[in-house]
Amino acid sequence: MALVIAGGRVVTAADDFIADVLVDGERIAMIGANLSDRADSVIDATGAYVLPGGVDPHTHIEGGFVHTPVRDDFTSGTVAAVCGGTTTVVNFCPQAQGQPFSDLLSEWHRRLGASPPVADVGFHVSVVDLSVGGLAELVAAGVPSFKLFMAYKGRMMVDDETLFATMQIAAGCGALVMVHAENGGAIEVLIGEALARGDTSPIWHSRTRPPELEGEATARAIDLARLAGCPLYVVHVSCCEALEPVVRGRTAGWEVWAETCTQYLFTDESMLERPDFEGAKFVFTPPPRTEVDRRRLWDALAAGTLSVVSTDHVPYAWDEHKTLSRNDFSKIPNGAPGIEDRLAMLHHFGVGERRISLGKLVALTATQPAKLFGLYPKKGTVAVGGDADLVVFDPSATRTISAAMQRSKSDYNLYEGTSVTGAPRDVLVRGQLVVRDGELIAEPGVGTFLPRAPFAPSRHGGAVGGAPEQ
Ligand code: URP
Ligand code: ZN
Ligand code: ZN
């Protein structure tokens, strides 16, 4: 069955042109003029953009983070993803102390089988215990990215020994190391002092995780990765202090990349002070920062210092999870939902307000994550032979973001009440129409596990400084 998306404005990280896109089976078969005669069905994309499906490389769907279960399983989380224009997610699989990596992988394949996705799903492992051995073998199993937490002491945090040893393993086996960069030890001291003083409200989440401690850990991780000879990806950069070492490393041509997340572009610290404990909705880590940081993040996206915008989707519920601890900010589960809103928020406030170009939007949300995480050119662009993961995006559709309308099972939305122009209209995952006119039409199971290729510097133009920006 062939299908044509006709007359749309095809936008990739590099090109922008009007064309028909012929989809045959799971792949893009032709891009050109007047292809409708070759198809069994036609989607008219006149006046719309045809974008590559988004790739979100930072999600916490299914299971939970630390001890708190999340609301979305792979089915509901990926339904939310595709409705927001994301057709691939790379999700974290957290290792328990002593758990062999092969068992961890089997566990997460089981979980994926139990809640079949509608988007394709890759895995990263979050490493806490190297003593079990066998980490390098994950690369051959299609999992070439190892995440380490430099914070959350007593839970997911690793010491520098484990961090550096993992980096050495990654250097030898073609894996990308990802770090949550905050100085977890110093944060514990600040939390203890705040609680001892009786400072227990959500704003203290931010005040005990100051930007200096994100900057310190980011610089430390970059220096350790350089010494170990492994490529490094810094997740959820939130502030100027963390941007600085990233700029330093990238300017020097080191193998370092970094992302920010949608929420750091649109929230600030004052939101933690919202009345009636609503501030707890903004308890995510690193915390929301300042207007100055937001401006610097936008500049860094435009300049190519930051390579990706992910969501760090953690589908906690306000009522069930965030209110668990009203008298101790340090026990409020960390994280917020957002998988559905990335493209619309970046299109409206990024492209619409001329902070980034349309091509840059595609680069940040699809092409660059696909390249960094071993998926390109199968994913992340519109090209003959690539997977037909496509988004027909209506740039003039308007809507107001609201938890009541979202597909994620989380019950709140960080951007509640925000009006945006531009929305995904039709979405294909490997040639199958999963969203039509904004409505989900696919059954669970369209998506599948996505083995990824080892990290390859050549995908990023050899040495690294400014690559892979387009
Ligand atoms: O607050 C957050 N971001 N929770 C999820 C875990 C993490 O740190 O990425
Ligand atoms: Zn994190
Ligand atoms: Zn995260």
Q: Which pLDDT tens digit goes with each residue over 181-217?
A: 999 999 999 999 999 999 999 999 999 999 999 999 9
> Taking a C-beta distance cutoff of 8 angstroms, is the pair 62, 79 a contact?
no
Q: Which residue has the higher pLDDT, 195 or 463?
A: 195
Q: What gap in Å lies between CA 57 and CA 78, rounded to an integer?
A: 13
Q: What gap in Å lies between CA 218 and CA 180, rounded to an integer?
A: 8
pLDDT tens, 323-340? Answer: 988 999 999 999 999 999
User: Among candidates 81, 88, 111, which has minimal Cα distance to 342?
Assistant: 81
> Taking a C-beta distance cutoff of 8 angstroms, is the pair 148, 163 a contact?
yes
Q: Is the CB of 312 under 6 A from ligand 1?
A: yes
CA of 132 to the centre of ligand 1 (A): 25
Q: Let me know if 153 is exposed, middle or buried by CB neighbors in 10 A (0-12, 13-18, 19+).
A: middle
**Is the pLDDT reported for residue 317 higher than 60?**
yes
Task: Read off the tokens for 188.
Answer: 């514990």
**Is the pLDDT reported for residue 468 higher than 50?**
no
- State the pLDDT at residue 63: 85
Radius of gyration of the chain (CA): 21
Query: In the chain, count of helices (H) and strands (E)?
Result: 12, 19
CA of 267 to the centre of ligand 1 (A): 15
pTM here? 0.97
For the chain, the distance separating the N- and C-terminal CA atoms, rounded to the nearest angstrom, is 34
Q: What gap in Å lies between CA 132 and CA 378, rounded to an integer?
A: 33
Q: Is the CB of 125 under 6 A from ligand 1?
A: no
> Taking a C-beta distance cutoff of 8 angstroms, is the pair 202, 272 a contact?
yes
- State the pLDDT at residue 460: 67
User: Among candidates 433, 401, 307, which has minimal Cα distance to 362?
Assistant: 307
- State the pLDDT at residue 29: 98
Q: What gap in Å lies between CA 62 and CA 252, rounded to an integer?
A: 38
Ligand 1 pocket test, pick from 70, 124, 285, 330 with the greatest ligand atom count within 8 Å of Cβ, gives: 285
Q: What gap in Å lies between CA 277 and CA 112, rounded to an integer?
A: 34
> Taking a C-beta distance cutoff of 8 angstroms, is the pair 49, 358 a contact?
yes
Tell me what the mean pLDDT of segment 165-183 comes to: 98
Strands (E), 251-387: 256-261, 308-310
Q: What gap in Å lies between CA 385 and CA 178, rounded to an integer?
A: 30
For CA atoms 241, 244, 245, 246, the dihedral sign is positive
- State the pLDDT at residue 67: 76
Q: What gap in Å lies between CA 327 and CA 345, rounded to an integer?
A: 33
pLDDT tens, 374-425? Answer: 999 999 999 999 999 999 999 999 999 999 999 999 999 999 999 999 999 9
- State the pLDDT at residue 319: 85
Residue nearest to atom 9 of ligand 1 (CA): 312
pLDDT tens, 37-65? Answer: 999 999 999 999 999 999 999 999 998 77
Question: What is the SS3 assignment for 357?
Answer: coil
φ, ψ (nearest 5 deg) of residue 21: -120, 120
Please list, residue by residue across 446-469, b when 16 or more beta carbons sit within 10 angstroms of its beta carbon and e when fewer do: bbebbebeebeeebbeeebbebbb
For CA atoms 3, 45, 345, 417, the dihedral sign is negative
Q: Let me know if 428 is exposed, middle or buried by CB neighbors in 10 A (0-12, 13-18, 19+).
A: buried
**What is the band of 1 on the pLDDT scale with cuts at 50, 70, 90?**
confident
CA of 314 to the centre of ligand 3 (A): 7
**Is the pLDDT reported for residue 459 higher than 90?**
no
Look up residue 320 and give its amino acid: E
Residue nearest to atom 4 of ligand 1 (CA): 335
pLDDT tens, 67-126? Answer: 789 999 999 999 999 999 999 999 999 999 999 999 999 999 999 999 999 999 999 999
Q: DSSP of 257-286, one letter per residue?
A: EEEEEHHHHH--GGGGG-TTTGGGGG--SS
Ligand 1 pocket test, pick from 65, 128, 339 with the greatest ligand atom count within 8 Å of Cβ, gives: 65
Q: Is the CB of 60 under 6 A from ligand 1?
A: yes
Q: Is the CB of 146 under 6 A from ligand 1?
A: no
pLDDT tens, 257-295? Answer: 999 999 999 999 999 999 999 999 999 999 999 999 999
> Taking a C-beta distance cutoff of 8 angstroms, is the pair 8, 395 a contact?
no
Q: Is the CB of 214 under 6 A from ligand 1?
A: no
Q: What gap in Å lies between CA 250 and CA 256, rounded to an integer?
A: 6
Task: Read off the tokens for 346.
Answer: 């970046």
**Is the pLDDT reported for residue 461 higher than 90?**
no
**What is the band of 428 on the pLDDT scale with cuts at 50, 70, 90?**
very high
Q: Is the CB of 238 under 6 A from ligand 1?
A: no
